């Protein structure tokens, strides 16, 4: 039986292949002896790399990290399409092709910017309350609405003519499906393609250099594992932050609205993220600040709440004291 977490904060995990993101959560619950563990930004079982986990009170902060920019290294095999758009699915078509790195680079350039994606059938997107992957397991095809995402950079790092495979580095908004990007890139070249391997390099400013392999965490004693947990305030390091004391500290403790203060204007003061509505551009590019999370710090510098900007001020989204 596990109880409350002895520590609260973020853990940057290097996810291994072969397990789901939820499997990682279950294993971390055993490491930390608590049920209060969650994750932000699902990785497919075959994918590896950066997975942000929240321990204790930090589970309430994970939703604010979902929209931050992600970086990936993707292996794409051209000439072969599959049922799942990745190497886990059954082969649908094989198309002989003789691509080269320049052709792939020229095609990749057309995907940089704001693009529309149809979520893959094997995904957790819910239609009429049911995840798409459940319908896919029944062999059903469900109509899906396209979604607007943003590709900030798409670099073709290498190309193997023998296997017709490319290594791509992708920087994109939250909610981007790299499987769909690979398949769409292949379609644009007339060859078809699927994602053969994927590694996530970063979530916002959380890089793989900060991550700890899951098996290493499982070999640590509790104190060693807890030493790898980042303080709660680090969850908001990619967002504007504000320190309160006195009367404002009391307002925060009671979840009352705060004055807006000066809106962040520089690119570096806002995360690379898109708003939820289709067609909206990243807040830092469109000049929007409504809805942007703001970390509220107490006099000691610790995170005590997260507020969101509104038309009238800052409104409480999560109070942690």
Residues designated as active site: 44
What is the SS3 assignment for 24?
helix
* Among 36, 38, 33, CA closest to 13: 38
* Among 39, 40, 11, CA closest to 216: 11
Q: What gap in Å lies between CA 234 and CA 241, rounded to an integer?
A: 11
**Nearest-5° angle of CA 308, CA 310, CA 316?**
40
Q: Is the Cα torsion angle 229, 231, 233, 239 positive or negative in sign?
A: negative
* Among 16, 6, 69, CA closest to 198: 16
Q: How far is CA 320 from the centre of its chain?
A: 23
Q: What is the DSSP string of 128-180?
A: TTEEHHHHHHTT-------EEEEEEEEEEEEEETTTTEEEEEEEE-TT--HHH
Measured from the Cβ of residue 213, the count of other Cβ atoms closer than 10 Å reads: 13
Structure tokens at 33: 């002896």
**Nearest-5° angle of CA 194, CA 197, CA 198?**
110
Give strand pairing partners of 211.
Answer: none
Q: What gap in Å lies between CA 312 and CA 260, rounded to an integer?
A: 7
Bridging pattern class, strands 241-243 and 293-297: parallel
């Amino acid at each position: 039986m596990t109880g409350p977490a002895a520590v609260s904060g973020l853990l940057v995990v290097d996810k291994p292949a072969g397990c789901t993101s939820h499997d990682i959560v279950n294993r971390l619950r055993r490491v930390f002896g608590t049920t209060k563990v969650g994750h932000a930004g699902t990785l497919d079982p075959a994918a590896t790399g950066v997975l942000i986990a929240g321990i204790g009170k930090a589970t309430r902060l994970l939703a604010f990290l979902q929209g931050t920019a992600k970086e990936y290294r993707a292996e794409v095999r051209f000439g072969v399409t599959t049922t799942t758009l990745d190497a886990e699915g059954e082969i649908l078509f094989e198309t002989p092709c003789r691509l080269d790195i320049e052709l792939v680079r020229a095609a990749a350039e057309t995907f940089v910017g704001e693009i529309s994606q149809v979520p893959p059938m094997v995904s957790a997107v819910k239609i009429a309350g049911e995840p798409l992957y459940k319908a896919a397991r029944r062999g059903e095809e469900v109509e899906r609405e396209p979604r607007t995402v943003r590709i900030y950079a798409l670099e073709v790092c290498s190309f193997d003519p023998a296997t017709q495979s490319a290594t791509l580095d992708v920087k994109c908004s939250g909610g981007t499906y790299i499987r769909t990007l690979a398949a769409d890139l292949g379609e644009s070249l007339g060859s078809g393609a699927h994602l053969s391997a994927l590694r996530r390099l970063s979530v916002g400013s959380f890089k793989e250099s900060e991550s700890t392999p899951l098996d290493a965490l499982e070999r640590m004693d509790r104190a060693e594992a807890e030493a790898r947990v980042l303080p709660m305030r680090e969850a908001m390091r990619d967002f504007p932050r504000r320190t309160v004391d006195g009367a404002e500290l009391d307002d925060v403790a009671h979840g009352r609205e705060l004055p807006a203060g000066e809106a962040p204007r520089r690119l570096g003061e806002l995360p690379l993220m898109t708003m939820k509505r289709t067609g909206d551009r990243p807040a830092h590019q469109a000049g929007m600040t409504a809805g942007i999370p703001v970390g509220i710090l107490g006099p000691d510098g610790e995170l005590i709440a997260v507020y969101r900007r509104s038309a009238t001020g800052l409104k409480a989204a999560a109070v942690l004291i």
